[in-house]
Amino acid sequence: MASAFNSTLNTPKSKLPLEVWAGVECTVNRVGEDYLDQLERNGHATRLDDLDLFAQLGIHAIRYPVIWERIAPNGLENADWSWADERLGRLRELGICPIVGLVHHGSGPRDTSLVDPEFPEKLAVFARAVAERYPWVTHYTPVNEPLTTARFSGMYGHWYPHGRDDLTFARALLGECKAIALSMQVIREINPNAQLVQTEDLGKTHSTPKLAYQAELENERRWLSLDLLCGRINPTHPMWGYLHDCGVSESELEEFLQYTCPPDIIGINHYLTSERFLDENLENYPVWTHGGNGRDKYADVEAVRVCAEGLAGPRTLLKETWERYKLPFAVTEVHLSCTREEQLRWLNEVWNAAQELRDQGADVRAVTVWALLGSYDWNSLVTRSAGYYESGVFDLRSPQPRQTAIAKMVRDLATGHKPNHPLLDTPGWWHREERLLYPAVSCRVSLPSPPVSSPVSNRPLAIVGATGTLGKAFARLCQLRGISYCLLRRQDMDIANPASVNKVLTELQPWAVVNAAGYVRVDDAEREPDVCLKVNAEGPAILAAACAQHNVALLTFSSDLVFDGAESNPYVETDTVAPLNIYGCSKVLAEKLVLQAHPASLVIRTSAFFGPWDEYNFVTIALRQLAAGNTFVAAEDAIVSPTYVPDLVHTSLDLLIDGENGLWHLANKSAVAWSDLARLAAKKAGVSVSSLIARPTQELGWIAPRPAYSVLGSNRGELMPHLDNAISRYLEERN
């Protein structure tokens, strides 16, 4: 079948728009005797329907795995093609061109490795089998990021075969590049028009003047895999001597020249952490960054955290690639582990850089939205299975993959529409001053970057509740995230007064409103129900109606106290409400009125706040009293799911940006009695609990009845970290 994607290769680039490609994080790497498989972790291994979700994004092509270690771990004679048959067949039906990857940060089945002299021939045998089975496939990446994989496997020891020397690195890289050439050779015997899309992570190294020689070496070495494939490594090339010094003989290097295989499309992968800074002033950096080259000792840190002028950035690196090779190229991975607006800003910046270079004549084919389903444990370079998840175009923490705001952006780009979210007006954190973790150092010697403007959106986020814990936390974290906001007091906007609300919405023109205000005194509500209902129900209803009229998103909060505690399993969003007190009744009424007036509103039920920035929450008071040796009394029979305020705010903002609506439950994963919460916090803080007294709730003098069990779960998505992790971060922030 001739795909539309394939036809673009024969069409002048000036006649075609920049394409949107996508990719599934599909690393299958080996650590010791264990294989770490992203497709198993992200569930795509068993979800065929994901492909239909991907097609709805409007993507032209997808980097897709037919991984050697998965298909034929025990030899081709025992290969299981059923998974690839079904998936590639469905992609063909959907009209999406697969760019088939065979090895993705791996080293092959157990009978081989990157330094096995027969690795290239063995991969080529598998490649031939793939091409024979799928002769219609036109695009291949036999080995993803060979230089990066060789460094991690042969130089740094992270992945199998865990080498830590230059020779292991060099042999691994040469083996991978030979494997690419041999694989494409046999693939083209089946399909003469098959295209090589060769990916590589092209970082850049900056340094102090003293270490300029090391930066120069690393900046030349970053091109090594592409130069090898393009046949550029000859006795006059700077890397010829380097490889020889690593222990590779000249005869081996000369022999390799017969295995050249220039890419049809160069794939550039770039991450914020890919740019490094080398500094001999070790005292400025943590010990874990210290290293050296045998001649000098130095710290190796993320350049974004120290370079005063910022990074070289995607535009510079893409331009360098074009000027060096003059071959068609694409950005083959765009992903950022960060909050949602920063993910949007990074994709927007890379897209704009690619479009600008294309307009200037560079043959840029596409930008690839990577990690459609997110990724696991890349914070540890996939050296262990710890469950650290980064969401992507879809968030997997829901029962089914849930579209994030990135999905809308991808559809906009794929259909030629310019993304217009107001949060794109602010530069990403990598351009803002707070990025600097170490004493700023000029990188002008190696980084002639232009100044970055810092526009501020004229459509802020309006935050109601300037004096409350939650309102202050939203303001604090919006500042950190580069989200323009306006923090409103009651005298600025009275949400119980329609005229006041309409006036402020007209003047501010916010893109969204966060209602973080409310009546929170549960026992007092029993004495003044009218006041509680007016503040907690009537006000939010008026605010919701105004937001609907102004077409403004609304986020407001409810409580676990809408439930009666008769259950013994965590409450989910669809469970029947049955409040026991006036406060709970006010929240039930608010939910109903808000969603009636503005069905697109996001209503978050949460529970038992604790946070590092106020002195009056349960955990802070408990630790203060116990540390002083004072008696502290807590309920032993009321089971709750405490909520760490920074986690609540970050997750709420992400959901708001994603355009989510309706009821959501957000609380840190746990089910704990108040007295046990005090014990847990005290244990982690190293504080004695000898003065802690656990009592039944009936002895605590509470006026309003509370549910004995009000733990929040969710059937929409478990997005919050575990309580144990949250308390550890609370203590770090307090200290």
For 369-392, how does the pLDDT look when each residue is reduced to its tens digit (9 = 90+)? 999 999 999 999 999 999 999 999
Closest C-alpha among 69, 83, 71, 81 to residue 28: 69
| Residue 482 reports pLDDT greater than 70 | yes
- Say what the pTM is: 0.94
| Residue 65 reports pLDDT greater than 60 | yes
pLDDT at position 15 is 59
Average pLDDT in the chain: 94
Percent of the chain exceeding pLDDT 70 equals 96
CATH number for region 4-435: 3.20.20.80
Q: Which two three-digit tokens encode residue 290?
A: 């210290």
Which strands sit side by side in the sheet containing 204-207, from one edge to the other? 204-207, 275-279, 297-302, 290-292
Whether the link from the prior residue into 439 is cis, omega within 30° of 0, is no
String of DSSP letters for 174-229: HHHHHHHHHHHHHHHHH-TT-EEEEEEE--EEEE-GGGHHHHHHHHHHTTHHHHHH
| Residue 25 reports pLDDT greater than 70 | yes
Which regions of the chain carry the CATH code 3.20.20.80? 4-435
| Secondary structure in 3-state letters for 42-66 | CCHHHCCCHHHHHHCCCCCEEEEEC
Convert the pLDDT of each residue in 146-175 to its tens digit: 999 999 999 999 999 999 999 999 999 999
Q: pLDDT grade, residue 452 (50/70/90)?
A: very low
Q: What's the CA gap between 692 and 712, in Å, rounded? A: 26
Which regions of the chain carry the CATH code 3.40.50.720? 461-734
What Rg value do the Cα atoms of the chain yield, rounded? 28
Judged by average pLDDT, the poorest of 12-26, 41-55, 506-520, 674-688 is 12-26
Q: Which of 583, 644, 709, 730 is catalytic?
A: 583
Average pLDDT over residues 669-682: 96
Judged by average pLDDT, the poorest of 307-311, 377-381, 457-461, 637-641 is 457-461
Dihedral, CA of residue 490, residue 494, residue 499 and residue 500, to nearest 10: 20
Q: Which two three-digit tokens encode residue 394?
A: 């879809």
Distance separating the N- and C-terminal Cα atoms of the chain = 62
| Residue 9 reports pLDDT greater than 90 | no
| Residue 141 reports pLDDT greater than 90 | yes
pLDDT at position 443 is 84
| Residue 458 reports pLDDT greater than 90 | no
- What's the full length of the chain, in residues? 735
Judged by average pLDDT, the poorest of 260-274, 297-311, 434-448 is 434-448
Closest C-alpha among 646, 651, 652, 662 to residue 731: 646
Q: What's the CA gap between 412 and 17, in Å, rounded? A: 13
Q: pLDDT grade, residue 16 (50/70/90)?
A: confident
Convert the pLDDT of each residue in 323-358 to its tens digit: 999 999 999 999 999 999 999 999 999 999 999 999
Residue 544 CB: number of other CB atoms within 10 A?
A: 28
Domain 461-734 is found in CATH 3.40.50.1820: no
- Whether 388 is catalytic: no
Q: pLDDT grade, residue 457 (50/70/90)?
A: low
